[in-house]
Structure 1
Amino acid sequence: MEKLHPIMFAGTGSDVGKSIIAAAFCRIFLQDGYHPAPFKAQNMALNSFATSEGLEIGRAQAVQAEAAGVPCHTDMNPLLLKPQSDHTSQVVLNGRPIGNRSAYEYFRKEGREELRQEVCSAFDRLASRYNPVVMEGAGSISEINLRDTDLVNMPMAIHAKADVILVADIDRGGVFASAYGSVMLLRPEERERVKGILINKFRGDIRLFESGVKMLEELCGIPVVGVVPYYKDIYIEEEDSVALATKSVRAERGKVNVAVILLRHLSNFTDFNVLERDPRVHLFYTNNVEELAKADIILLPGSKSTLDDLYELRRNGVAQAILRAHREGATVMGICGGYQMMGQEVLDPDHVEGDIERLPGLGLLPISTQMMGEKITRQVKFGFNEESLFNEELRMTGYEIHMGTTVPIEGAPASPLNILEDGSTDGYFVDSTCMGTYIHGILDNPQFVDFLLQPFADKLSETPETFDYHRFKEEQYDKLARHVRKHVNMPLIYQILTEKS
């Protein structure tokens, strides 16, 4: 295939849809016979993923890699910031945590060149293996106060010799000002790299914006490569958890009602995407004690700050509501931090997470957890027992990202939920209504979801087939590609990506 220039989707601001547009182009290039891969030099997100090498990257790049049909790798997201408070983040470099930094410390010029060298080297390695590299910027392309320390937008595009497409969100208003201002605030050498503007999230009749397209092209001197309509019927994993609390909490008859506890530091909320799509399930997110009483199953999710969230659950009455619901017949299951909270205690003598050294857990599982400085990140294959582990049809997959070691308390019998491929065990199983695991993505396995829902089979108004989440996701990537391809001038995109600079 012809060698294409790298392409970067940069934004007029945050949440304009860069991640989804990049995922769409990863799938489009794959469909057109190319071998694409995603790249974002620096990402800030609590939602992360473990690569096959046991290293950590942002979930958005893992999704884009999936759309591109390639295994994810830390070179696709060499720098990940995981917020721990309003002012500090854990810094993950090339998949491994290197410490916590305040925003002020992180954005100082001192030490920036070392980070710049790391992200540029990651891009260079990726570009040598894939064609094209589909790059994503961060936030606004024109944060001129951060220009000298920027690692992810125009300095990265210049290093990569990438063609930049500026993504503007028309749904939020001010599209002319945001696009024109973004371009005009760039330095001349940066402006030369911006080859097109993509208008995203358009609502209504696109024909009514034809004059707007011409005006924008005249203002900026850059072609508008497409106007992509807003959609509601395509489901791609989201990077941010902002909209979780808006999901309906009204219990539905004929379905299994599943409540996910809405933690302050909730992480890896994509663990539950499969349940949102399963026709047997009505899923909602809540920390309201009355709403929890409506649930058949309560899921405690992962947390970036287990002790802080556990303290809050005790303070706001949610812990008591969970215990009451369990006594009345609800299943309670914890994943990662949620699993730790379900035990007898969580210990942090070395202050890995903060000032709290010990908190009693919910007492649902006979386990004790101690926070450790070393983070465990790995992909795993597992089964309920040895028979399922060695049966390819029954074997399951997932990944671990956690800090902490969990063991049964003294006198408690060993009762793991899962057996891993290396012979080690995971989680704790009391019975079909009380269990916990460290494995993210466990619900992506149809056989585990069937196991979780089985006690409530009599509630279902019908018995649909087991939901195939992998097939569903592939269908969604193809739908997204069709949607974007229909509304973007792809011949112009390919012309831009093959023209001599």
Structure 2
Amino acid sequence: MNKFKPVMFVGTASDVGKSVLATAFCRVLKQEGYQPAPFKAQNMSLNSYVTPEGLELGRAQAVQAEACNIPSHTDMNPVLLKPNSEKSSQIVLNGKPVGNQSAREYFLGNNKEKLFEEAKAAFQRLHEKYSPIVMEGAGSISELNLKKRDISNMRMAMAAGADVYLVADIDKGGVFASVYGSIQLLNPEERKHIKGIIINKFRGDASLFEEGKNLIKDLTGIPVVGLLPYFKDIFIEEEDSVSLKKKFSKAVEKRLNIGVVLLPHISNFTDFSRLERDERVHLFYSHDKEELAASDILILPGTKSTIADLHFLRRKGIAEVILHAHKAGKKVIGICGGYQMMGSWIEDPYQVESEMVRYPGLGLLPVNTILEKEKQTVERTFLYRDLDTPCKGYEVHMGKTIGSGNPLIYFQDGTTDGCWLSDQCWGTYLHGILDNAVVLDDLLREKGNRSEDLLNWADFKQQQYDKLADHLRRHLDLDYMINLLNA
């Protein structure tokens, strides 16, 4: 296999579109006959995924691997930070948790050199199997107070010898200052790696920005290689919970309303991506008790801090809304941490989450949970209830739930998962369960029409990657970028 230079997308700030651009470029390179793979040295996200080996990585790199048509692997995201409070995070190294640290300990401590070596080793292993590697930075490239310890941006770009493209979000405003300032704050050696600037999320007539492109080139000496229009008609899974603020936030008339409780530490909200696209329902995220009370179906999602978020439900009055909905015969289901909340008790003997040894659940399901030190991460093939259609999902949790009641899930090895109390009330540890048509059709049985008749999820996602690649082909100077890979 021929080896090509890596390419890296970095940002003037967070949420400028780096992940989506990296996904799109992965797909373009795959279409062009290359063998690309994604890489992000350090990711901070509560949306994670499980590799075929049963290890954990950031969801964005799993999506990018899917765009490359290759299996996800922890070398694509060797360091994953999963916030469990406003000031601390669980550190996942090469797919396995290695402990918790405060932000101060992590960003100012001495362990970053070891993590940087781990990141470089992961990159090298990946580069031996795939080429080119499509790299993604984190946040802004010019955080001067953190730059010396940063393992995600220019330090990693220089170690990999990557061509770097700076992404700016013009929709945020101040694009000239953010681009010029970001580049000026780099040292000369770092600046040599910046090969182009991409202006993202442009609205209106692109011809009006021609002068702007020339001004940026004059200011920085670096060409603008693309002006990417804002789009709403391409669906790519998002990793950042910031995106949830853009979702519908209340029930609507004449639709089956599904309310997902917007927990402070919500995780793996991509569990509901397919439901968002289902024309039979209107799905929204909210922590407003009046809006949630108007739902026909309530879903308690995954969380990184089950006990803290359960306390939040009680403090906000949402727990009462959930219990009232259950008594009224509405459907209430829970996934992962949400499933744990629906039980009678949550015990934390090792103080994994809090100083509380025992905390009462909502009492909707006849189960109890014990939080454990070891995390369960595994891909699963399963049967849902008494249906004989194989389904797929994955587990990412640090707890064991036991009790009475009928199992919801049956695995090939004879073990089970979850608790089915009735059609109106059940819970499971399985993320991705709602991506399966038979589960959705059972959940929405009164709405008619089969899910596969409306949307084949696997085909739909592949179509979206192709649409995203087409978007880049129309608005980015791909010839320039691809020619540099061969230089």
Q: Which TM-score band (shorter chain)?
A: over 0.9
Task: Using the TM superposition, give the Cα deviation of residue 111 of structure 1 relative to its aligned residue in structure 2, in angstroms.
Answer: 2.4
* Residue of structure 2 equivalent to 1:76: 76
Distance 1:242 1:112, change over 3 A: closer
Task: Using the TM superposition, give the Cα deviation of residue 261 of structure 1 relative to its aligned residue in structure 2, in angstroms.
Answer: 0.8
* Contact 1:57 1:74 (8 Å CA) reproduced: yes
Distance 1:135 1:259 in 2: 36
* Contact 2:3 2:132 (8 Å CA) reproduced: yes
The amino acid across from 1:176 in the alignment is F
Among candidates 414, 418, 440, match of residue 449 of structure 1: 440
Distance 1:387 1:210 in 2: 58
Task: Using the TM superposition, give the Cα deviation of residue 180 of structure 1 relative to its aligned residue in structure 2, in angstroms.
Answer: 1.4
Task: Using the TM superposition, give the Cα deviation of residue 301 of structure 1 relative to its aligned residue in structure 2, in angstroms.
Answer: 0.2
SS of equivalent residue, structure 1 residue 141:
coil
Distance 1:464 1:430 in 2: 27
Q: Does 1:401 align with 2:396?
A: yes
The amino acid across from 1:383 in the alignment is L
Distance 1:127 1:350 in 2: 40
Q: Does 1:487 align with 2:475?
A: yes
The amino acid across from 1:481 in the alignment is A
SS of equivalent residue, structure 1 residue 3:
coil
Task: Using the TM superposition, give the Cα deviation of residue 251 of structure 1 relative to its aligned residue in structure 2, in angstroms.
Answer: 3.5
Distance 1:44 1:173 in 2: 25
* Contact 1:226 1:488 (8 Å CA) reproduced: yes
Can you list the C-alpha shifts for 1:93-134, whole angstroms capped at 9, x where unaligned?
A: 000010001111112352222111100000000011111100
- Structure 2 gaps of 5+ residues are none
Q: Does 1:417 align with 2:408?
A: yes
SS of equivalent residue, structure 1 residue 159:
helix
SS of equivalent residue, structure 2 residue 124:
helix
Can you list the C-alpha shifts for 1:162-195, whole angstroms capped at 9, x where unaligned?
A: 1001111111112111111111211111111111
* Residue of structure 2 equivalent to 1:329: 329
Q: Does 1:11 align with 2:2?
A: no
Distance 2:475 2:337 in 1: 42
Distance 2:318 2:371 in 1: 23
The amino acid across from 2:418 in the alignment is G
TM-score, normalised via structure 2 length: 0.97
Distance 1:288 1:41, change over 3 A: same
Task: Using the TM superposition, give the Cα deviation of residue 225 of structure 1 relative to its aligned residue in structure 2, in angstroms.
Answer: 1.0
- Count of equivalent residues: 487
Among candidates 456, 465, 481, match of residue 468 of structure 1: 456
Can you list the C-alpha shifts for 1:121-163, whole angstroms capped at 9, x where unaligned?
A: 0000001111110000011112222222111111111111110
How do 1:294-443 residues align onto structure 2 when only pairs under 5 Å count?
Answer: 294-384=294-384, 388=388, 394-408=389-403, 412-413=404-405, 415-443=406-434
Distance 1:188 1:288 in 2: 50
Distance 1:204 1:75 in 2: 40
* Contact 2:250 2:285 (8 Å CA) reproduced: no
| Coordinate RMSD, CA, aligned | 1.7
Distance 1:210 1:300 in 2: 48
Task: Using the TM superposition, give the Cα deviation of residue 353 of structure 1 relative to its aligned residue in structure 2, in angstroms.
Answer: 0.2
SS of equivalent residue, structure 1 residue 145:
coil
Distance 1:20 1:463, change over 3 A: closer
* Contact 1:260 1:283 (8 Å CA) reproduced: yes
The amino acid across from 2:476 in the alignment is V
* Residue of structure 2 equivalent to 1:391: none
SS of equivalent residue, structure 1 residue 196:
strand
* Contact 2:250 2:292 (8 Å CA) reproduced: no
How do 1:163-202 residues align onto structure 2 when only pairs under 5 Å count?
Answer: 163-202=163-202
* Residue of structure 2 equivalent to 1:477: 465
* Contact 2:437 2:452 (8 Å CA) reproduced: no
TM-score, normalised via structure 1 length: 0.94
Task: Using the TM superposition, give the Cα deviation of residue 218 of structure 1 relative to its aligned residue in structure 2, in angstroms.
Answer: 1.5
The amino acid across from 2:443 in the alignment is L
Distance 1:315 1:173 in 2: 37
Distance 1:332 1:387, change over 3 A: closer
* Residue of structure 2 equivalent to 1:244: 244
Distance 1:83 1:236 in 2: 23
* Residue of structure 2 equivalent to 1:113: 113
Distance 1:126 1:463 in 2: 37
Distance 2:363 2:399 in 1: 18
* Residue of structure 2 equivalent to 1:230: 230
The amino acid across from 2:362 in the alignment is L
* Residue of structure 2 equivalent to 1:496: 484
* Contact 2:250 2:286 (8 Å CA) reproduced: no
How do 1:133-152 residues align onto structure 2 when only pairs under 5 Å count?
Answer: 133-152=133-152
* Contact 1:199 1:224 (8 Å CA) reproduced: yes
SS of equivalent residue, structure 1 residue 440:
coil
Can you list the C-alpha shifts for 1:189-232, whole angstroms capped at 9, x where unaligned?
A: 11111111111111111101111111111211111111111111
Task: Using the TM superposition, give the Cα deviation of residue 470 of structure 1 relative to its aligned residue in structure 2, in angstroms.
Answer: 1.4
Q: How many percent of aligned residue pairs carry the same amino acid?
A: 56
* Contact 1:265 1:305 (8 Å CA) reproduced: yes
Distance 1:209 1:387, change over 3 A: closer
Task: Using the TM superposition, give the Cα deviation of residue 4 of structure 1 relative to its aligned residue in structure 2, in angstroms.
Answer: 2.3
